[in-house]
Structure 1
Amino acid sequence: MDATVADPLVGQVLDGRYRIESRVARGGMATVYVARDIRLDREIALKVMHSHLASDEDFVRRFIGEAKAAAALSHPNVVAVYDQRTDGEHVFLVMEYVPGRTLRDLLDERGRLGPREALEIMQPVLAALGAAHRSGLVHRDVKPENVLITDDGQIKVADFGLARAESASKMTKTGLIIGTVGYLAPEQVLKGSADVRSDVYAAGVLLFELITGFLPHQGDSPLAVAYKHVNETVPAPSTVVPGLTPEIDLLVTRATSHDPARRPQDANQFLAATAEVHGGLRRDFDERVAAASYSQTAVFESGPAVSGHTAVFGAGPTAPPGYTAPPGYEAYPPERTAADRAIGAITGKYVLIAIGAVAAVILGWAVWYQVSGQYDHVPDKIVGMELNAAKQQLQDDGLQVQIASAVFSDRVKKGQVVKSDPPAGARVSSGSLVTLTPSKGRTPKDVPNVEGKSLNEARDTLRDKGFTPGDVMKESSTTVEKDDVVRTDPAAGERHSPDEPVKIVVSTGMSMPPLVGRNAEEAENQLRSMGLDVNVDKQEDGDKPPNTVLSQTPEAGTGVSRGDSVTIVVNKKDCLFGDFFCRDGGGGDDERIPVPNVTGRTVDDARQALENSGFRVSVVGITGNIVRIQTPNGGEAPRGSTVTLVRGP
């Protein structure tokens, strides 16, 4: 089976107006496309219902009603619904197109958020839910996938009221629990009913996930997770992330109370409490929590294994002295009286009977779910699998597979699956398309500057910053000592994934310049400007010009370091008509003239000034356009002799 499957709707025009351009997501109820409204010439999103739901009259009727309610909901943090249309077998919504990414994408990239940042994201989410609750609309499926983040950082919530429409489908009247199981309130599991307080529960779970990086209830199947929602409380996030305040713990534990009456009574109350807690945090609170959590990083990098976290889940938070909760959001749960405990002892056996009945109902649903033959679900363990293995497993289960572009992830290794669409555990029909997103390694970060360090020091620094030292290459350098690091590849400051090695370039020292045939004084000055110890030997060679270099040790191109001893052999002056005609300049005694100080000037200006004064100029150095060193520097020197300039940045 091919890895990519063409979508037959792409390229079609629905209702004579909406041209579908590309598919962006596929869920359990619908597929979302980017389209263009030909009439208004604007980009929009189309949410096209799956055919098995579109053929259900009860569903379509309820869906149209809910779409009208969602369209009436106008709020800057709500994805706008423009219209609901039908074109043949296609029932679809016309919605605002929000370019950007989902909150799930952000979590996949970051692992978890700082608590202050998490509260900042929760406030527009709760504002959107609060607007819906004031209109009598319940979301029923609050989760990171339904929270969109625009390119400029604005938060928008999508899919208001659609889960309720799905609950009317004949396909769901045999016991299927509506909503994503990881965020379901206990009453949704037990009764299949939801009100605004169910959205508050899901928002509390979402806040826990943003702060800790994983859902509070884990299990091998949707049934196991649903059972935990009914029988286990959501722990305080501070039991996982040290350094949190009791107020943050209280936000989560009260919002996720099993008793809806104990929760904030709608998203607006939850928003007021969240804003108050956020306002009381220091601006550097996230950095402080990160520092407190550093020692536990290794525990969580391997993933949210439930057994690894159960032991630290405590009994819950207590409010700090003097803390006053917002109205409707009491700081302390009421203490149980002796009478309450006595009644609890008497009724305990009935509670066990009720739990057994609930388990029987859930078990009946699970049996139907598994044997109905019409549906399958995306395997729970698909995230973290090697891409090819995940693809093969899905295909063996009768599902089609599409591979999305790889993304960076700090939690999933390179080549493994970061996420699936629909997500793991989602219920899908046989033959449905599942999109897998592979990891291309950990999120890039800045390569540290190790220039001038020894090779071992550079390797240690790279490892300390999370990088793997790579191959070692060598090149000459006039500024870096032999065997020290010249640069890295990628260069210092560039963004680079820690999963890719960093190459190290080591200096072979300065390169001995070619001097044979050059003027002896000029050659000597250049060598001294390089910090070398110069020895000058003389010998006579009548076939070569006088006062020129006959040979050099070491040879040109050899690596040298400051302080090294080098030797040049100079042809001594021996002319037929005496020394007078052999001197540079053509005759007469050497005239000594002042040497201008050009340090700090540009190379071109310095060269012009020295040449105008009667000197030759030699420029050494690789980079920069400013004279940093000159030899000789001031004083007097023979007219026509060479002044060496060392350039630098």
Structure 2
Amino acid sequence: MDTTVADPLVGRVLDGRYRIESRIARGGMATVYLARDLRLDRVIAIKVMHAGLASDEDFVARFIGEAKAAAALSHPNVVAVYDQRTDGEHVFLVMEYVAGHTLRDALSSVRRFGPRAALEIMQPVLAALGAAHRAGLVHRDVKPENVLITEDGQVKVADFGLARAETASKMTKTGIIIGTVGYLAPEQVVSGDAGVRSDVYAAGVMLFELLTGRLPHQADTPLAVAYKHVNETVPPPSSVVPGIPTRVDELVTDATSHDPQRRPQDANQYLAEVAEVFGGLPPDIDRRIQDASGNDTRVLETPAAGPHTAVLDANTLPAAQRPERTRTDRAIGALTGRYVLLALGLVAAVILGWAVWYQTSGQYERVPSSVVGMKVTDARDRLESAGLHVQTAKPVYDDRVHKGGVVRTDPPAGSRIAKGETVTLTPSRGITPKKVPDVEGKSLDDAEQTLEDEGFTVGRTSRTPSQTVPRDSVVGTDPEAGARLSPDEPVGIVVSTGMSMPGLIGQNGDAAANQLRSMGLKVKVEKKKVDGKPADTVLEQDPAEGTGVSRGDDVTLVVNKRDCIVDAGPFEFGCNDGEPTENIPVPNMTGRDVNDARRALEDSGFKVKVTGFGGSTVRFQSPSDGEAPRGSTVTIVRGP
């Protein structure tokens, strides 16, 4: 524990509940303390954000949101987050306290691990990261310091407080790239991008370090190290430690590819690959590699014997510390040694034979990693052909697997399972739903492009009349804009056929013409005489009823001409080409463009007077409805 500097928080009780007892460590963003939860009477760890970051409201908001997401993770290999609180200027996380040491401590004590020991450590680490990736979280700071080993040998991954939702923004407000430079993926250095494959890259770097005892890229400054991540590939570990198998090399080089698409798709797939390679390694490979390299024989013991303990052979002790042996002792020892070696050889042969039988006897199968992402029907066939029973769980949304594909298996991919046992497949309901964009008013081509740019699939196109949307423009979508839909589900597009031409035959000619003008159509009225039909009624119309029309289209009405009446009692009609002078309906132009309104009123047979104080919209009209004599003046008042 770091107790060299007096800390003003030690001894304080935060939020009236958490008593700070001592400082454990101090990092670049926060300080970790050993504390006690006074309410539950248990030992905990508290991570207090540094004051400079705590004053940044955006950073604090993100920190709190991410803490909630991390608290939702429930996995035996993840350090649990219990609570998030603020006490005055102190913003802090309450976490599980893990008694033990870090993987960095273990690595420092043994210098490097053999392939089996390294892959044994990586599996619980990747299981923890895989749980986070399934929850949509990216750790972003995978390194040995964030891997804790409990006193009983359990491995736990810490510092998910720095994790971010995969869809979150790339950088902090201050432009700091989160992560430790020795483990940063090239895309994090170049653009700040951090996805699940960035965690896979860091895990690959960490595996290189466990195998070789050093990081792959080293330089005098962090900037120079970052430059190497972008411009140099991670070498195979065997280039540093001869004898490391090719398949172990490939676990490192595949995970640290500069192209994220060439890496395992997430920690779950990487775990499956690591487990498969681990299962195929000879039991004594760690000892053979270390003996061949001339180093001390140091191995990682099993958890039952103590977590990650360095073990020294007596033969590796300095000569002054070795027990003195007589000539007789040496002779007896040599003779005895032959029988011992023979016995050990026989035992090793039996064990090796049993191991080979166990791996290849046909009684067991490994859940293949290739079924993740495969169509459920194909995955079922693959597993059943291997002698396994298959059942299907409730489908879930997933950001990486399209609808109908396998999101995960239980047991996980790479697990060893007896023939006849059951594997549960979880299908994808599709990519996680998001909002359908608004494409109303766009052309069909533009609407399709917008949907595709947002990741949606374009579905069926239908057409419908619309009084407001021009012909061939988009009325809307199915489902409507703003609805949440998986991008794997098609989005239908509804296109306007324009306004529907009303049926006007038999109606009063002037009323019919005014109705069409109020729709924004250009009306041409023709007269002809048809005996037996009422005067001034519509005889024909073009286009026909139900035809789609748009504002500005030309339409024609044929109206029955009335006879010229000279004497009609109280009405005085003047004959003009057989048309009497009379009152006609006044179309209401309120809200219309002034120029459009003027043309419509003049086309209806009125004179127009425009007044007002500027603007292009008709705000008032007199008269605004009813009838008025043909040729009389209609006043419109313009306004903004």
Shorter-chain-normalised TM-score: which range?
0.3 to 0.5
| Greater Rg by CA | 2
Q: Which has the higher contact order (CA 8 A, sep 6+)?
A: 1
State the TM-score, normalized to the length of structure 1: 0.46
State the TM-score, normalized to the length of structure 2: 0.47
